[in-house]
Amino acid sequence: MSRYWSDVVHRLTPYVPGEQPRIEGLVKLNTNECPYGPSEAVLAAMAAQTGEGLRLYPDPQSGALRQAVAAHHGLRPEQVFVGNGSDEVLAHAFLGLLKHEAPLLHPDISYSFYPVYARLYGIATRELPLAEDFGIRIDDFLAARRDGGAGAIIFPNPNAPTGMALPLSELRRLLDACPDLPVVIDEAYVDFGAESAVALIDACPQLLVVRTLSKSRALAGLRVGYALGHPDLVEALNRVKDSFNSYPLDRVASAGAVAAMQDEAWFQATRARIIATRERLAAALAARGFQVLPSAANFVFARHPAQAGAALAAALREQKVLVRQFARPARIADFLRISVGTEAQTDTLLQALDRVLGR
Ligand code: PMP
C-alpha cells in the first residue's frame, strides 16, 4: 500500500459501536439505552406529523425544538444547537471548535468516538491518564496545558465508561483557569445524578455543553442531541452544519423531541426509577465481590476480583445477557459496563451471573 493510502486508512479508523443484536430474547444491557419506552406525549406528537405535511421540508433552523430546549434550560434559543444525535453535534464541534495547532486534551479512558473524530479531522490530541481511582484530575489538564499547550479540552461528565462524575466546583476551576480555551463537556449521562455545567454557561463563554435525548428521554432510535453555549459557539456550529447543507432534524423527530423536552413528569419519574435500580444493581454486584465504581450514570462499571472481563462477558452472552467489555486500554479490560435495565432485566442479569460464578 502506498504511504498516501496507508495514511488515509489510518485517518479513517472507524468507531466500533456496541452490538445491536438481531437475535430475539437477549437481555440487552450493552449500549446504555433507556429500558423504558418514551413518553406517550412523544408518540402522539410524532404520529401527528406523519400525514400530508411530510411533503414539506422541515424547518432548517429547528426553531420549535431550539425554543423548547432553551425553555427547559432557562436559556435563549440562540444558545441552542440541535443535531441528529449528540454524535452529530460532537462531529460539528470537533470541526468547528476543537481543531487547533496545539493538541486537544481528553482523558485516556473516555468516549471512544473522540479519537475517531480527531483522526478524521486531523486534530492532534493528547490523552491524559485517569487517576488511580479512575477519576478525571483537573490538575492534570491544567499541568498538561502549561507543559505542552492545549488547543481545547473535551470530556464527558459523568465520564464514560466509568460513570464517575466531577462536581461542578471542579468544572468551574478548570474553566476559570482556561478562559481562552474551548471546553466541551459531554453530558450524555448527566440526568442520572451529576451536576450539570449548564449553570456555568453565562459565566464561561468558552464552554459548550452537549446533551442527548438517547438516554434519559428514551429516544436513541430517533437520533436527537443538542449543544448549549454562548451564541458565538452556537453560530460556529451552525456554520459547519450549513456548510454541509444538512437539515438538523426531520419533521417527525423534531415534533417528538419537542414533546420529550416538555414532558417533565415522565422525565422525572423515569430517571428516578433508573437511579433506584442502579443503586440496587451496584449493591448486588458489590455483594458478589465486584469492585463497582461510583456511578452517576445509567450504567455501572464493575470488575470481578477473579474473572477476566472478556470471559465473563462471553459467559453472560451464553446466558443471553449482553453487557459491554472494552479490550483496551488494558487497565479496564476486566471491567464490565452494565446498563441499568428494568427491575426484571436486573434480576435476570444477577441470576445469570450467579450461574456463571457458580454461586
Ligand atoms: N457521548 C457519550 C459519552 C456517549 O456515551 C454517547 C452514546 N454512545 C454519545 C455521546 C452519543 O449519543 P447519541 O449520538 O445517541 O446522542
Q: How far is 183 from 173, CA to CA, in rounded Å?
A: 12
**For ligand 1, what atom is nearest to the CA of residue 88?**
14
- The alpha helices in 74-215, defined as continuous H runs, are 85-97, 113-120, 138-148, 168-177
The pLDDT, as a whole number, for residue 248 is: 80
Candidate of 15, 82, 110, 113 to mutate for ligand 1, largest count of ligand atoms within 8 Å of Cβ: 113
Residue 45 grid coordinates: 406528537
Is it true that 18-36+265-357 and 40-262 share their CATH fold? no
ipTM: 0.99
**For ligand 1, what atom is nearest to the CA of residue 215?**
15
Q: How far is 122 from 86, CA to CA, in rounded Å?
A: 21
> In this structure, are strands 291-292 and 299-303 parallel, antiparallel, or unpaired?
antiparallel
In the reported structure, the alpha carbon of residue 212 is separated from the centroid of ligand 1 by a whole-number distance in angstroms of 7
Candidate of 30, 32, 111, 187 to mutate for ligand 1, largest count of ligand atoms within 8 Å of Cβ: 111
91 by DSSP, 3-state: which? helix
Question: C-alpha angle 278/89/169, rounded to 5°?
Answer: 55
What is the distance between the terminal CA atoms of the chain, rounded to a whole angstrom?
Answer: 53
Residue 231 grid coordinates: 451564541
CA nearest to 211, candidates 193, 195, 191, 187: 187
Contact 109, 1 (CB under 8 A): no
Q: How far is 112 from 97, CA to CA, in rounded Å?
A: 19
Q: How far is 54 from 107, CA to CA, in rounded Å?
A: 43
Closest residue by Cα to atom 8, ligand 1, is 31
In the reported structure, the alpha carbon of residue 112 is separated from the centroid of ligand 1 by a whole-number distance in angstroms of 10
Q: How far is CA 7 from the centre of its chain?
A: 29
Q: How far is 110 from 309, CA to CA, in rounded Å?
A: 18
- Residues at CB less than 6 angstroms from ligand 1: 85-87, 111, 156, 160, 186, 188, 212, 214, 220, 225
**For ligand 1, what atom is nearest to the CA of residue 156?**
3
Closest residue by Cα to atom 1, ligand 1, is 188
In the reported structure, the alpha carbon of residue 189 is separated from the centroid of ligand 1 by a whole-number distance in angstroms of 9
How much is the CA Rg of the chain, to the nearest whole Å?
A: 21
Q: What's the pTM?
A: 0.96
In the reported structure, the alpha carbon of residue 73 is separated from the centroid of ligand 1 by a whole-number distance in angstroms of 20
**Domains of the chain: which residue ranges?**
18-36+265-357, 40-262
- With cell 413518553, the residue in question is 39
The pLDDT, as a whole number, for residue 1 is: 63
In the reported structure, the alpha carbon of residue 52 is separated from the centroid of ligand 1 by a whole-number distance in angstroms of 33
Fold classification of 40-262 (topology level): Aspartate Aminotransferase; domain 2 (3.40.640)
Assign domain 18-36+265-357 to its CATH architecture.
Answer: Alpha-Beta Complex (3.90)
Question: Residue 227 gets which letter from DSSP?
Answer: E
| pLDDT of the chain, 359 residues: tens digit per residue | 677 777 777 777 777 777 788 777 899 999 999 999 999 999 999 999 999 999 999 999 999 999 999 999 999 999 999 999 999 999 999 999 999 999 999 999 999 999 999 999 999 999 999 999 999 999 999 999 999 899 999 999 999 999 999 999 999 999 999 999 999 999 999 999 999 999 999 999 999 999 999 999 999 999 999 999 999 999 999 999 998 877 789 999 999 999 999 999 999 999 999 999 999 999 999 999 999 999 999 999 999 999 999 999 999 999 999 999 999 999 999 999 999 999 999 999 999 999 999 98
In the reported structure, the alpha carbon of residue 42 is separated from the centroid of ligand 1 by a whole-number distance in angstroms of 21
Q: How far is 285 from 282, CA to CA, in rounded Å?
A: 5
Distances (CA, A) of 229 to 99, 179, 288, 301, 357: 18, 14, 43, 30, 48
pLDDT digits (tens, 9 = 90+) for 279-309: 999 999 999 999 999 999 999 999 999 999 9
- The alpha helices in the chain, defined as continuous H runs, are 3-11, 40-47, 63-73, 85-97, 113-120, 138-148, 168-177, 231-243, 251-262, 264-287, 309-318, 343-357
